[in-house]
Copies of this chain bind each other. A is one copy, B any other.
Amino acid sequence: MSDPNPLPSWVDGPNKSAILDFVARVTNEDDPHFRPAAERIATFDNDGTLWCEFPNLVQVLFTLAEVKRLTSQRPELLNKPAYKAFLAGDLKTLASLPRQDVFETIFAVHAGMSVDDFEVTVAEWFSSARHPTLGRLVLNNAYQPQQDLLAYLRANEFKTFIVTGGGVEFVRVISQRLYAIPAEQVIGSSTKCHLNTIDGNLVLRKLPDLGSFDDRDEKVVNIGLHLGRRPIFAFGNSDGDLSMLRYTLQGDGARLGLLLHHDDAAREFAYDRDFKISPLSDGLEHADAYGIRVVSMKSDWRSVFSFASA
């Protein structure tokens, strides 16, 4: 059963050991921290945790392309600073605006579109979308060590979930392909939707109103709504993930909470406190107090990007 070389893309060291030890304990029936498979719930943030989010969120890049296409249909959106920045293609301003302002704009852009059409639009965009500075397809920006970790957890009968600030329908388009996580195991931000009946045909459409901004405390609220269980493992990379990590760690028995620190300017990017849309500040300061392990991209990861996915 057990893989002779688990997590090959992780460097041997305290963080890799902590993961291996945790999984060994919760899967060993003779260990007091054993958990039946049904309770082995692992939640992962997406942006900056499973794939590259710097210098702009992938969904910002998508929205940028879409705003140009859809401008004429929704002129009222032009009043918002984030929308103006989208329209001007002003990536620097977008990276400096508060997270919720940017997300609200992102979610409003596709109001009126059916969820089926939205899925097709997103899939088409991904087929050719490239990272603004790395040049390669954004589909090539998923992290190999996380793909290995997800596979390792699943091999040990964990059920893996994404809990993302990104739009739930957006992330579902690539979750199976990049992470082998099915659509129904993605929890995310969402617009409200409405079921229209036109000539007897039922069409589910996106509304302009935000349903849930799945960030900070709301990640825990949505874990309650969608899972109804406390995870025993959680992985994030920003202060927006701290509530999820702390909630995970405060349950009984063995728990593991990890924060990825982007400290690798050579292979990816080095950023934390000053990245407005996804800052890591409280997390670095209080990780010890919260019992969270900080993972260094530079020291803990043997490789960074997966190129097998695109």
Contacts and interface: CB of A to CB of B under 8 A. Distances in A.
Interface stretch (A53-61, A99-107, A220-228): A220-228
Interface in A179-203: 182-184, 186, 190, 193-195, 201-202
A43 to B, nearest CB: 11
Given A38-B182, A168-B228, A195-B221, A201 B250 contact: yes
22 contacts: A41-B184, A115-B228, A161-B184, A168-B228, A169-B228, A172-B228, A183-B227, A183-B229, A184-B226, A184-B227, A184-B229, A193-B221, A193-B225, A194-B217, A194-B221, A195-B217, A195-B220, A195-B221, A202-B247, A204-B221, A204-B224, A211-B225
Nearest to A169: B228
A226 B226 contact: yes
A66 to B, nearest CB: 19
A159 interface: yes
A121 interface: no
Nearest to A207: B221
A176 interface: yes
Given A172-B228, A221-B194, A225-B193, A246 B202 contact: yes
Given A201-B250, A202-B250, A195 B243 contact: yes
Contacts of A172: 228
A225 B168 contact: yes
A227 B169 CA distance: 10
A259 to B, nearest CB: 16
Nearest to A183: B228
A290 to B, nearest CB: 9
Given A168-B225, A183-B229, 11 more contacts: A115-B224, A159-B184, A161-B184, A184-B228, A193-B221, A195-B243, A195-B247, A201-B250, A202-B243, A202-B246, A202-B250
From A159, A186, A217, name the one whose CB has the most chain B CB atoms within 10 angstroms.
A217
A282 to B, nearest CB: 13
A226 B190 CA distance: 10
Interface string A203-217: 010000001000001
**Most chain B CB atoms below 10 A, which of A38, A225, A243, A250:** A225
